[in-house]
């Protein structure tokens, strides 16, 4: 069975007030000390203070769920939560009724959501997952300098994708590039089985524009996001695309590692 996108939601959160927490500051100082990173409380005070928990709760409010709890819940992210004292995947499971297999995928940069769907697809093929919820979360409040946050301002954003047995696009294949493998090579593998005219390539803001030339219809996501970029577009436009394209390829290149990822989503009517 292939996981099929049934519903999706997007949030961008407003700033929240900062409340001093000495235990949180001690945690961050201990975490940063081995790397000689300076922790400055002022960065928290001046930040938006949006947590993953807040983003997840907003997303649940905007996503319809059937009475059945999903078999699997995966939270994926590239940048850490500034308030790490909540296990977000377990919290989402609790809010949905409990009983899901729930965990997070992180420490992979923007590759995390791609890896999450590779894992979920493997479970689905083995008959252990018919329904799942994927959350892709991003927030930009950190007490130490992080170039992707402070030099390239990012919006606090989140995506929830609900997968099941019916819908417009199903997960066909996920492609992970090697460390030095060009994006074009990864895309060649992703689109090999699909006609260029009926396939939309959705590229993240970190991709090399030259690798996208001559590939039929291409949508390049504007700057302002890191991990959530192509997933924001999928959540917003998947219903429109389902009536226009046989397949959609999402791709991006992590600016830190240089690794490219792609995922092929095919329409249910064109298995």
The full set of domain ranges for the chain reads 4-164, 169-267
CATH architecture of the domain formed by 169-267: 3-Layer(aba) Sandwich (3.40)
Q: Do domains 4-164 and 169-267 have the same CATH topology?
A: yes
Evaluated on CA atoms 30, 31, 36, 41, the torsion sign reads negative
Residue 248 structure tokens: 């959609």
The correct CATH number of 4-164 out of 3.40.47.10, 3.40.50.970, 3.30.230.70, 3.30.365.10 is: 3.40.47.10
Q: What is the spatial distance between Cα 63 and Cα 191, in angstroms, rounded to a whole number?
A: 30
Query: For 165-195, how does the pLDDT look when each residue is reduced to its tens digit (9 = 90+)?
Result: 887 899 999 999 988 899 999 999 998 877 7
Query: For 228-251, how does the pLDDT look when each residue is reduced to its tens digit (9 = 90+)?
Result: 999 999 999 999 999 999 999 999
Asked whether the predicted pLDDT for residue 270 surpasses 60, the reply is no
Q: What is the pTM of this model?
A: 0.94
Query: For 48-64, how does the pLDDT look when each residue is reduced to its tens digit (9 = 90+)?
Result: 999 999 999 999 999 88
Q: Which of 112, 9, 120 is nearest to 57 (CA)?
A: 9
268 confidence band (pLDDT: 50, 70, 90): low
What per-residue confidence (pLDDT) applies to 150?
86
Q: How many residues would you count in the chain?
A: 271
Query: For 18-74, how does the pLDDT look when each residue is reduced to its tens digit (9 = 90+)?
Result: 999 999 999 999 999 999 999 999 999 999 999 999 999 999 999 888 777 899 999
What per-residue confidence (pLDDT) applies to 90?
98
Query: For 120-179, how does the pLDDT look when each residue is reduced to its tens digit (9 = 90+)?
Result: 999 998 989 999 999 999 999 999 998 888 888 899 999 999 999 887 899 999 999 988
Residue 209 structure tokens: 């524009």
């Amino acid at each position: 069975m292939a996981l099929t996108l049934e519903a999706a939601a997007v949030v961008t959160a407003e700033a929240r007030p900062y409340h001093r927490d000495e235990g949180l500051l001690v945690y961050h100082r201990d975490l940063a000390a081995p790397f000689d990173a300076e922790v400055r409380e002022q960065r928290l005070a001046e930040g938006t203070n949006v947590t993953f928990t807040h983003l997840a709760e907003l997303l649940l409010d905007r996503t319809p769920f059937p009475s059945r709890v999903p078999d699997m819940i995966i939270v994926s992210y590239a940048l850490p939560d500034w308030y790490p004292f909540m296990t977000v995947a377990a919290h989402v499971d609790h809010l949905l009724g409990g009983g899901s297999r729930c965990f997070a995928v992180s420490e992979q940069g923007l590759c995390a959501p791609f890896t999450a769907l590779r894992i979920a697809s493997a479970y689905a093929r083995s008959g252990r997952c018919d329904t799942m919820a994927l959350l892709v979360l991003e927030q930009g409040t950190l007490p130490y300098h992080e170039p992707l946050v402070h030099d390239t301002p990012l919006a606090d954003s989140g995506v929830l994708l609900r997968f099941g047995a019916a819908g417009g696009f199903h997960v066909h294949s996920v492609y992970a590039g090697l460390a030095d493998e060009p994006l074009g090579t990864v895309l060649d593998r992703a689109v090999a089985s699909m006609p260029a005219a009926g396939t939309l390539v959705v590229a993240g803001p970190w991709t090399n524009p030259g690798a996208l030339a001559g590939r039929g219809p291409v949508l390049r996501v504007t700057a302002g996001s890191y991990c959530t970029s192509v997933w924001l577009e999928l959540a917003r436009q998947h219903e429109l695309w389902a009536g226009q394209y046989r397949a959609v390829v999402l791709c991006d290149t992590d600016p830190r590692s240089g690794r490219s990822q792609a995922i092929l989503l095919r329409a249910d009517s064109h298995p």
